[in-house]
Each structure stands twice: as C-alpha cells, then as structure tokens.
Copies of this chain bind each other. A is one copy, B any other.
Amino acid sequence: MTVTDQAATGRRDRKKAQTRAALTAAALRLVAERGLEHVTVEEISEAADVSSRTFFNYFTCKDEALTDDPALDGNPVVAHLAAAPARVSALQAVRVALDEAIGAIQADRELWRLRLTVITQNPALLPRLVAGNSATEQAMVAVVATRLGVGPDHAHPPLVIAVAGAAFRTAMLRWAADDDARPLHDFVDEAFAAIAAGLPDPPSAC
C-alpha cells in the first residue's frame, strides 16, 4: 500500500488511484516480460480490466504509463527549490529539493526497481525519466535564476538544472542496478558531490 494511501478524499479518488496503479503495474509487468514493442495498449488495459479508451483517459501515451509516477509530481520539487536556504549553492539547493522525491522512490522501491529495469531495457524511455524538457524543468530554471539574482538569459540556471537532472538520472539507474541495499540518496549524494568537485578523474583501479 504505497501508492493508494495518499489522502484519497472519497471513494472516487481512491478508485482512480487504484485504476492508475493497476494500469502502471500491468504495463510494467508486461513490458518487462515481452519488451516495449510487443505489448499493446489493449493488452495493458485488458490486464488492468478497463477499456483501452480508459487507458488514454489516464495516460496520453503508452510510455507515460511506464515512466510517470504520482509520487514524482513536479510541483513539490519546485516549491522545495524555492524554499531552499539561500546560503547553499544552486546545485546544492536542487539536491535538497529532490529529497522528498528520493524518499518517495525509496519507499516504493520494488516498483521503481522494476520501472528502472524496464527503462534500461527500453532506452527509448530513458529521456522520460526526469523529463529533460517539461514545464517542471522550466520552472526550476526560473526559480534558480531568481535565487541567483541573474536575468532570464543567463547561462547558469539552465546548465545547473540540466546537469542536476543528468546526475539524478544516472544515480537512479545505478541504484536500480545495485545488488546491495544502498539507499538511493547515497548514489545521488555521490553524483552531486562529484559534480561539485568539478568531475575530477577518479584514481585508477590498477
């Protein structure tokens, strides 16, 4: 019960969350078994016991059912970024803003490991992970620009957001592939620390 337990005010919202979760679960399971190209929306819908028309009431495309997660709504991230302490760097502020999302992923780790496995096996999905475009990224760029007191055309904010996204994405993939039980925030901290250090070459392992 990690997906449906968020303040579902009435029966209607509860059912919606259930249907959505069922579609996501069915989509991930089927694609893990057969690969992205060998699963149709109709099959996913059937597995979740709804019509395929209903599928498209929840998701705008097949990929979205595999990658999007209500726990990763962009608004809280942007809000936390805006609320981050002023004394840390913009990069660290982004790191802090991601904390809640990292916690949510860690809490739902079985689902997310499956999701990340599916994404790894179907690289076409990778760009959907931490958008890479999207309104959320635009909003984060704007918040960082305000925070730094620079104009909207300054080079720094989009660079910081793009790099932070890349770091988060690689950290998630490594976390999912990891056999030990290291928590996600370890991998994220490692990546952000390496970036803050200017990405120096690590000592060779020879």
Chain copies in the assembled complex: 2
Binds B, one of A25-33, A39-47, A51-59, A192-200: A192-200
List the B residue with the shortest CB-CB distance to A88: B201
Binds B, one of A16-24, A75-83, A101-109, A149-157: A149-157
The reply to whether B150 and A204 form a contact with Cβ atoms under 8 Å apart is: yes
A interface, how many residues as a size bin? 35 or more
Docked Cα-Cα span, A143 to B96, in Å, equals 32
Docked Cα-Cα span, A204 to B89, in Å, equals 12
A127 within 8 A of B: yes
Q: How far is the CB of A88 from chain B (nearest CB, A)?
A: 9
The reply to whether A204 and B149 form a contact with Cβ atoms under 8 Å apart is: yes
The reply to whether B159 and A191 form a contact with Cβ atoms under 8 Å apart is: yes
Instruction: Pick the 8 closest A-B CB pairs, nearest first.
Output: A127-B127, A149-B204, A123-B133, A162-B166, A198-B198, A166-B166, A126-B133, A127-B132
- 21 A/B residue pairs, CB under 8 Å, sorted by A: A89-B201, A90-B199, A90-B201, A124-B133, A126-B132, A127-B132, A132-B132, A148-B202, A149-B204, A151-B205, A153-B177, A155-B170, A155-B174, A155-B191, A159-B167, A159-B194, A159-B199, A162-B167, A162-B170, A163-B166, A196-B198
